Amino acid sequence: MTGMQEMTLVESLKGEDLLTLGELKTEEVEGLVELGYVLKKLAKEGRYPKLLAGKILGMIFEKHSTRTRISFESGMIQLGGHAMFMNSRDLQIGRGESVSDTAHVLSGYLDAIMIRANKHTMVRELADVAAIPVINGLTDIYHPCQALADLLTVREVKGGLKGRKIAYVGDGNNVAHSLILAAAHSGMEISVATPEGYEPSPDVMEHATAIAGSTGGHVSWTSEPAEAVRQADAVYTDVWTSMGQEEETAQRLEAFKGFMVDDDMVAHAKPDYMFLHCLPAHRGEEVAASVIDGPNSHVFRQAENRLHAQKAVLASVL
């Protein structure tokens, strides 16, 4: 069977928003991962199905970006469409135009909106009003496109997701929230280790636990990193201080002592563990250079997979 014949869009997402993986069905998450896998295989063969010819994606950025901007823009081009970069400071929304008015206006020009925003509430308001699909490129609470790329990476390297264990060590932030939901949908075991006071949202943990109950997955939290990493197939971390939290840097450096993913910590994982990081990374802070630059690291494969996972999202919603 050719790659093109294997390609199946997630039809139930046509015209829909993608704001958080918690709002998707398990089969939709699985479908996006498999579609990303096929689209990547086609791309490696030099084949780019023009599924989105004539479609325009508007990309609004309130936060700086490398991977999100370039992967979405490249993805639209590869699928035959076009992407427009819009810095929020250059839009009237940056000068006080309401989110509602902006949503109405953009709905008349574009086929979809991807937004990388400070507040999830703002993205939710945009999606509630817009007549076109809205894709969450990152907010303070969720980062669903990153988590889809994470699943794709584990699926590639390990051959499957169900029953695998992934350990997340660090801040219970937006990346952690989406990873927890993604792992639950996939029937994985996810063990999260954070310092007390930096735990993931209880609502996210409760929602993910409910999802895991129907997929055979398992969700847990601990304040002991070595416990979380024990016999893990994948070890994941993120920066300790995210954009907008710079004033907390000194406090966080103190709170996260003992949480750096180093050689001693990953010795608790399986010998063939894979290391993941959504990037950018601070070597010597949340991860040792010997780990992120070592033979078990898949961070650049993971970064590339943002492109293919997001093509799956774009093709399905459009």
Beta bridge partners of 235: 167, 275
As annotated, the active-site residues are: 116, 143, 146, 238, 278, 306
Here the tokens at position 154 are 């584990």
Count of domains observed in the chain: 2
pLDDT in tens, 46-90: 999 999 999 999 999 998 899 999 999 999 999 999 999 998 788
Task: Give the residue from 306, 311, 218, 313 showing the smallest Cα distance to 28.
Answer: 313
Question: Which residue range(s) make up the domain with 259?
Answer: 146-303
- H or E element: which one contains 269? none
Same-domain check for residues 297 and 311:
no
pTM of this prediction? 0.96
Q: Please report the pLDDT score of residue 90 as a whole number.
A: 81
Burial label for 95, CB within 10 Å (0-12, 13-18, 19+), is: exposed
pLDDT in tens, 258-281: 999 999 999 999 999 999 999 999
Q: Which residues are annotated as a binding site?
A: 65-68, 92, 116, 143-146, 174, 238, 242-243, 278-279, 306
Average pLDDT over residues 203-213: 98
Q: Please report the pLDDT score of residue 95 as a whole number.
A: 75
Q: For position 230, which CATH number holds?
A: 3.40.50.1370
Q: Is the peptide bond before 280 cis (omega within 30 degrees of 0)?
A: yes
Q: Which residues are annotated as a binding site for L-ornithine?
A: 174, 238, 242-243
The DSSP string of 136-203 is EEE-SS--HHHHHHHHHHHHHHHS--TT-EEEEES--SHHHHHHHHHHHHTT-EEEEE--TT-PPPHH
pLDDT in tens, 2-18: 556 678 999 999 999 99
Q: Which residues are annotated as a binding site for carbamoyl phosphate?
A: 65-68, 92, 116, 143-146, 278-279, 306
Same-domain check for residues 70 and 92:
yes
Q: Are strands 189-193 and 56-61 parallel, antiparallel or unpaired?
A: unpaired
Going by pLDDT thresholds of 50, 70 and 90, the confidence category of residue 1 is very low
Q: Please report the pLDDT score of residue 5 as a whole number.
A: 65
Same-domain check for residues 64 and 116:
yes
